[in-house]
């Protein structure tokens, strides 16, 4: 049994407030009687019922998941709490009132009438209080289950996105390899060796949703080396990763679709090729990842190149992982090519 002290304290304070309200109402209906005794009885009966029900339910194994005993014990503990709390509260209340002379002087009150009122108030207040805590506990349990369901759905969605991304990259690379085999078998063999090493590293990365930024840049270097064999001097690249950011977690294979997009739509259509730069930097509480190229860049009037499969995958993964806390901007770069900028929360 593991008690949540903060939650129990909140329940206890709520019960105290409820008992004070009941004691005050009793006094309001019987202003000719003193204020002390009904308040003492109300507090002691109410807190006794609370202790039996709210603390007692923690001893039932069936309450570990839902927070409330299952089956007949769910009702039984309420009845036990009301009956037990009534007798315990009455006994201790009478003892305190006698010890501190809280009873009014004069003839004793109508015990039969007081007993009926006391039982009726205890039963109504006990049932109402128990239903309130049961409803609050059930609401909290359902919210927790909904949170878990959302988390599992997001994880499944991320895995689906990754499984779509990896074949996409593999088919593109194999298509490049096929083209190179016919014109330069030696370079094709070197490219195949790089591809095997790259796929081995990618397979390890794909087994987790995130990896370090250093691992992400290592995979980019493998991929760019692979592409450099095919494009030769038409492709130059630079990777800039500050040492203090290397251990930050990022979604696996996040930047590769951006680099692939720069090569496919920016550098390959350009006769002289160009240069790709990938950098990471910190901006306040955010991590900025930037991919720029000196290719042909976005053309006015043409369909936006940032809406392709790989770029859409990146957007969807960011939205699933970070929601509105992550941003992705695509546009013309400072040297006329394309520029993609990702802003991620550092805590993620």
| Each residue's pLDDT tens digit, 237-282 | 999 999 999 999 988 778 988 898 888 888 888 888 899 999 999 9
Residue found by looking up tokens 């195949």 in the block: 192
| Each residue's pLDDT tens digit, 41-50 | 999 999 999 9
- CA distances 317 to 255, 257, 279, 338, Å, are 12, 12, 20, 21
pLDDT at residue 278 in the model? 95
pLDDT at residue 275 in the model? 92
pLDDT at residue 348 in the model? 47
Other C-beta atoms lying within 10 Å of the C-beta of residue 293: 30
Q: Which of 256, 164, 144 is closest to 211 using CA atoms? A: 256
Which residues lie across from 173 on neighbouring strands?
Answer: none
- Separation between Cα atoms, residue 293 and residue 310, nearest integer Å: 17
pLDDT at residue 240 in the model? 95
Q: What share of residues in the chain are helix, strand, coil (percent, to 5)?
A: 65, 15, 20
- Separation between Cα atoms, residue 201 and residue 261, nearest integer Å: 21
| Each residue's pLDDT tens digit, 208-228 | 677 889 988 988 888 888 888
Residue ranges in the chain modelled with pLDDT below 70? 1-3, 106-112, 154-155, 157-169, 172, 201-208, 299-307, 347-348
Specify the pTM: 0.55
Q: Is residue 221 within 8 Å of residue 239, measured between CB atoms?
A: yes
- CA distances 46 to 7, 8, 21, 168, 248, Å, are 17, 15, 11, 65, 52
pLDDT at residue 324 in the model? 86
Q: Which of 112, 132, 125 is closest to 41 using CA atoms? A: 125
pLDDT at residue 67 in the model? 81
- Separation between Cα atoms, residue 115 and residue 196, nearest integer Å: 86
pLDDT at residue 244 in the model? 92
């Amino acid at each position: 049994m593991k008690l949540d002290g903060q939650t129990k304290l909140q329940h206890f304070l709520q019960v105290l407030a409820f008992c004070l309200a009941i004691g005050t109402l009793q006094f309001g209906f019987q202003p000719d009687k003193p204020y002390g005794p009904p308040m003492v009885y109300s507090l002691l009966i109410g807190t006794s019922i609370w202790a039996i029900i709210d603390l007692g339910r923690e001893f039932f194994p069936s309450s570990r998941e839902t927070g409330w005993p299952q089956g007949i014990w769910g009702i039984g503990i309420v009845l036990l709490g009301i009956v037990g709390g009534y007798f315990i509260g009455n006994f201790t209340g009478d003892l305190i009132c006698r010890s501190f002379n809280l009873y009014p002087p004069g003839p004793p009150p109508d015990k039969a009438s007081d007993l009926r009122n006391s039982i009726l108030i205890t039963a109504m207040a006990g049932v109402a209080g128990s239903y309130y805590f049961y409803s609050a506990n059930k609401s909290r349990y359902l919210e927790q289950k909904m949170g878990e369901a959302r988390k599992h759905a997001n994880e499944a969605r991320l895995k689906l996105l990754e499984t779509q991304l990896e074949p996409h990259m593999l088919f593109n690379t194999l298509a490049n390899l096929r083209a190179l085999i016919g014109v330069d078998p030696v370079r094709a063999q070197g490219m195949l060796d790089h591809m095997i090493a790259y796929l081995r590293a990618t397979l390890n990365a794909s087994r987790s949703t995130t990896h370090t930024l250093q691992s992400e840049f290592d995979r980019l270097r493998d991929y760019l080396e692979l592409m450099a064999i095919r494009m030769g001097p038409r492709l130059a690249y630079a990777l800039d990763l500050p040492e203090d950011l290397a251990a930050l977690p990022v979604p696996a294979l996040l930047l590769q679709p951006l680099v692939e997009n720069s090569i496919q739509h920016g550098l390959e259509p350009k006769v002289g090729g160009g240069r790709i730069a990938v950098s990471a930097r910190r901006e306040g509480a955010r991590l900025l990842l930037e991919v720029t190229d000196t290719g042909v860049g976005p053309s006015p009037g043409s369909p936006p190149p940032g809406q392709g499969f790989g770029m859409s995958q990146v957007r969807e993964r960011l939205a699933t992982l970070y929601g509105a806390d992550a941003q992705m901007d695509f546009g013309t770069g400072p040297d006329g090519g394309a520029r993609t900028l990702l802003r991620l929360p550092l805590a993620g």
